[in-house]
Amino acid sequence: MKFAVIVFPGSNCDKDLYFAVKDSIHAEVEMIDYRETSLDGFDAVLIPGGFSYGDYLRSGAIAAHAPIIKTIKKMAILGKPILGICNGFQILTEIGLLPGALMRNRQNKFICETVDLRVENSQTIFTSEYDYDEIINIPVAHGEGNYYCDIATLKQINDNNQIVFRYASDINGSVDNIAGIINKEGNVLGMMPHPERALEEIIGSDDGLKMFQSILKSHMNRVNL
C-alpha cells in the first residue's frame, strides 16, 4: 500500500504523518507537493495538520484552491481512503468532501492537550481495529476546531452513522461534541485530534496506531478478495 502525504505551505505535521506510516505500519509513503496534479500509483491520501497558507482568510480556504485538490477529489470518487487531520479536516470541509465547517474554539484560545475521544463508529476503513464506544486518548492542537453544522445536517450525519469520534467532554464548543466525521461513502474521514501523535506509550498514548493499522488492513482485505 502506498500513501501520499500532501504538503502545503504552512503544513507542520506532514513529517509526523510520513513517519507514522513509514515506521509504525511499515508501508510505502511519499511527501507530495501541493502543486502536483497527479496521484497515480497511490492508494491513500493523508492531509496533515498545520497552518496552510498561514490560515489567512480562514483555515483551509486558500489550500482549497491548490492544484492538487482536483486530484484529491478524483481519488475520493474512486473510493480511495482520504484522511484529513486538523487543518486537513478544515480543508476537506472547504472543498466539499465533508459537510459542516470548523470555527474558532468557543473559548477563543488555542488548545493543546491530550483528550478522551469516544469511538462512535468502528465499522469504517479507518476504525475497524477499535471497538465501538471505546475511549481513546489522542492529542489535540487547534484554535479553530469548533465543528459546526446546521440542524438538518446534524440529523443527516447522525442518521447515516457518519459521526466517527466524539469528545468525551466539551473541549471547544463543537456541535454534539463532534471530533471527527466521515462521508456517506465511508472513504473520507476528517478529524481534529492527531492520531499520528499517539503512536507510542512512551509519549503518552499509542491509541492512534489502530487508525493506521485499520487503513492498512482494509487495503489488504480488498487486495486479497
CATH superfamily for domain 2-223: Class I glutamine amidotransferase (GATase) domain (3.40.50.880)
CB atoms within 10 A of CB 41: 9
Catalytically annotated residues: 86, 194, 196
pLDDT in tens, 102-122: 999 999 999 999 999 999 999
Q: What is the pLDDT of residue 148?
A: 98
Closest CA to 139 of 51, 207, 88, 188: 207
Question: Angle at the Cα of 181 (from 222 to 43), degrees rounded to 5?
Answer: 30
State the Cα–Cα distance between residues 136 and 131, nearest whole angstrom. Answer: 10
pLDDT in tens, 169-187: 999 999 999 999 999 999 9
Q: Are 34 and 70 in contact (CB under 8 A)?
A: no
> At 7, is the pLDDT very low, low, confident or very high (cuts 50, 70, 90)?
very high
Sequence ranges of the domains in the chain: 2-223
Helices vs. strands in the chain: H and E counts, helices first: 5, 11
Average pLDDT for the chain? 97
- DSSP E strands in the chain: the ranges are 2-7, 28-33, 44-47, 82-85, 101-103, 111-119, 135-142, 146-148, 163-167, 178-182, 188-191
Q: Are 92 and 188 in contact (CB under 8 A)?
A: yes
Query: What are the two backbone dihedrals, phi and then psi, of residue 107, each rounded to the nearest 5 degrees?
Result: -85, 0
State the Cα–Cα distance between residues 36 and 16, nearest whole angstrom. Answer: 21
Compute the average pLDDT of residues 37-59: 95
Q: Please state whether beta strands 163-167 and 178-182 pair in parallel, antiparallel, or not at all (unpaired).
A: antiparallel
> At 57, is the pLDDT very low, low, confident or very high (cuts 50, 70, 90)?
confident
Provide the grid cell at 112: 493543546
